[in-house]
A = this chain, B = another copy of it.
């Protein structure tokens, strides 16, 4: 009787990232009928996206189709489609290709990057949330070095070899570290007209410190590791303007204009639009960054049949901790709501409220330095790097990817070779990049 209740109940999950995919796996295992909807046909391992952008990993290493992960659960269906609307009374989800009736709805549509009201910067300063972003950033970085090698004008060459990373959180720190390592170690012997070590990498952070979520001692270690890789850390410095040729910053020391062709955005995120639609139709509250306020069991206020999990959810857990927007929190919430639902459908008492298990935070800086703020210890340096590598490889979902990434990293570690530095993209885009050069006639090389 109760097993049949489980099998008839239709769960619709919107968003197949860490949260949605883990909920789908747990519900699939329990024999539920699940429809998982995502705009993209793959789950992306976002914490490693900066490694695609800087040429160490290739796209297939960090992404896998949800339907491959969920293949073994015959009652779980994956649809590549975009959710547009929800009717909480009729319990219907409206998406690009039709409608879906649900008994339970799980919303896990995450966050996107955000330019603090300056959407016009988007064109010049790509963010780091999608595979396309990472490939665009890769094209910008390696394209800038290629152009510098043929450039005659020393001013233009200097601008081409100046890289500005906006945002001193883990993504910005990891990206700046990887760039510093590329310029100061990996590519040292690759050019003839330029010395890649002359590249300037600037990490710009508006607040007083990089890595605000880390312990003070680790922030100091992170800054030292970055500086060893030639990265200049500018804290207390806000970005005021970005265009194709420069960045303008403001700090207590005044306004500075930095000529550059490559600005990378790791500064802010905002909740995805579907959270706003959900709250409009079903009630509830959004916080300042658009996240949906949820109950202790991750359900929407007044709607026990609707859950919101992952980066999109705003929750202070049973221990009084504000659940952070990190992959482990999303994974734990996905598994948690599957358990809540299983208990409901089988008539068991509800599980205890959600409690985030914090395994700690790590950031990697260059090839073999990392800082880790772990539960029971603080690590930095090469031990930090090994722990970071281990944690990330183990968290990669698919076995084949795990083996690939492990082989690649080991190889990279011992040879300093590089994975995928291709400058790809539509020719028009390459032309745009070239168009940023002055129109003056080129001299003989």
Listed in ascending order, the chain A residues whose CB lies under 8 Å from chain B are: 35, 40-42, 57-61, 63, 65, 67-68, 71-72, 74, 76-81, 96-101, 131-132, 135, 142-143, 146-147, 149-152, 189-193, 398-400, 403-404, 407-408, 411-412, 415, 417-426, 434, 442-445
Residues of B contacting A445 in the complex (Cβ-Cβ under 8 angstroms):
35, 79, 97-100
Residues of B contacting A146 in the complex (Cβ-Cβ under 8 angstroms):
41, 79-80
With beta carbons under 8 angstroms apart, the residue of B72, B78, B411, B443 that contacts A400 is: B411
- Asked if A65 contacts B400 (CB within 8 A), the reply is no
Which residue of chain B has the shortest Cβ distance to A430 in the bound complex?
B39
- Asked if A442 contacts B98 (CB within 8 A), the reply is yes
- Asked if B97 contacts A442 (CB within 8 A), the reply is yes
Residues of B contacting A132 in the complex (Cβ-Cβ under 8 angstroms):
424-426
- Asked if B412 contacts A63 (CB within 8 A), the reply is no
- Asked if B400 contacts A97 (CB within 8 A), the reply is no
- Asked if B419 contacts A408 (CB within 8 A), the reply is no
> Looking at A60, A65, A77, A99, which has the most chain B CB atoms within 10 Å of its CB?
A60
Copies of this chain present in the complex amount to 2
Query: Please, how many angstroms separate the alpha-carbon atoms of A411 and B406 in the complex?
Result: 14
Given contacts A59-B420, A63-B422, 7 further A-B pairs with CB under 8 A are A35-B445, A40-B423, A41-B422, A58-B58, A58-B61, A77-B192, A400-B408
With beta carbons under 8 angstroms apart, the residue of B80, B400, B407 that contacts A149 is: B80
With beta carbons under 8 angstroms apart, the residue of B97, B131, B150, B190 that contacts A98 is: B150
Residues of B contacting A444 in the complex (Cβ-Cβ under 8 angstroms):
98-101
- Asked if B98 contacts A421 (CB within 8 A), the reply is no
Which residue of chain B has the shortest Cβ distance to A99 in the bound complex?
B444
- Asked if A399 contacts B423 (CB within 8 A), the reply is no
Query: Please, how many angstroms separate the alpha-carbon atoms of A78 and B63 in the complex?
Result: 32
Query: Please, how many angstroms separate the alpha-carbon atoms of A57 and B191 in the complex?
Result: 29
A-B contact pairs, 9 of them (CB 8 A): A41-B422, A60-B60, A63-B420, A68-B190, A68-B421, A77-B193, A131-B422, A131-B424, A135-B424
Residues of B contacting A42 in the complex (Cβ-Cβ under 8 angstroms):
421-423
- Asked if B60 contacts A420 (CB within 8 A), the reply is yes
Residues of B contacting A97 in the complex (Cβ-Cβ under 8 angstroms):
150-151, 442, 445
With beta carbons under 8 angstroms apart, the residue of B65, B101, B150, B190 that contacts A67 is: B190
Query: Please, how many angstroms separate the alpha-carbon atoms of A159 and B209 in the complex?
Result: 57
Residues of B contacting A442 in the complex (Cβ-Cβ under 8 angstroms):
96-98
- Asked if A150 contacts B80 (CB within 8 A), the reply is yes
Residues of B contacting A407 in the complex (Cβ-Cβ under 8 angstroms):
403-404, 407
Query: Please, how many angstroms separate the alpha-carbon atoms of A96 and B442 in the complex?
Result: 9
Query: Which 8 A-B pairs give the minimum distances between C-beta atoms?
Result: A60-B420, A58-B60, A80-B146, A77-B192, A97-B150, A98-B442, A98-B445, A67-B190
Which residue of chain B has the shortest Cβ distance to A67 in the bound complex?
B190
Which residue of chain B has the shortest Cβ distance to A186 in the bound complex?
B68
Query: Please, how many angstroms separate the alpha-carbon atoms of A151 and B96 in the complex?
Result: 11
Residues of B contacting A63 in the complex (Cβ-Cβ under 8 angstroms):
420, 422
Query: Please, how many angstroms separate the alpha-carbon atoms of A131 and B99 in the complex?
Result: 37
- Asked if B68 contacts A417 (CB within 8 A), the reply is yes
- Asked if A417 contacts B398 (CB within 8 A), the reply is yes
Closest approach, in angstroms, between the C-beta of A425 and any C-beta of chain B? 7
Closest approach, in angstroms, between the C-beta of A116 and any C-beta of chain B? 23
Closest approach, in angstroms, between the C-beta of A57 and any C-beta of chain B? 8
Closest approach, in angstroms, between the C-beta of A436 and any C-beta of chain B? 14
Residues of B contacting A426 in the complex (Cβ-Cβ under 8 angstroms):
132
Query: Please, how many angstroms separate the alpha-carbon atoms of A74 and B149 in the complex?
Result: 15
Closest approach, in angstroms, between the C-beta of A128 and any C-beta of chain B? 15
Residues of B contacting A60 in the complex (Cβ-Cβ under 8 angstroms):
57-61, 419-420, 422
Closest approach, in angstroms, between the C-beta of A437 and any C-beta of chain B? 9
Query: Please, how many angstroms separate the alpha-carbon atoms of A417 and B100 in the complex?
Result: 30
Residues of B contacting A425 in the complex (Cβ-Cβ under 8 angstroms):
132
- Asked if B150 contacts A424 (CB within 8 A), the reply is no
- Asked if A81 contacts B421 (CB within 8 A), the reply is no
- Asked if A404 contacts B399 (CB within 8 A), the reply is no
Closest approach, in angstroms, between the C-beta of A342 and any C-beta of chain B? 22
Query: Please, how many angstroms separate the alpha-carbon atoms of A444 and B96 in the complex?
Result: 11
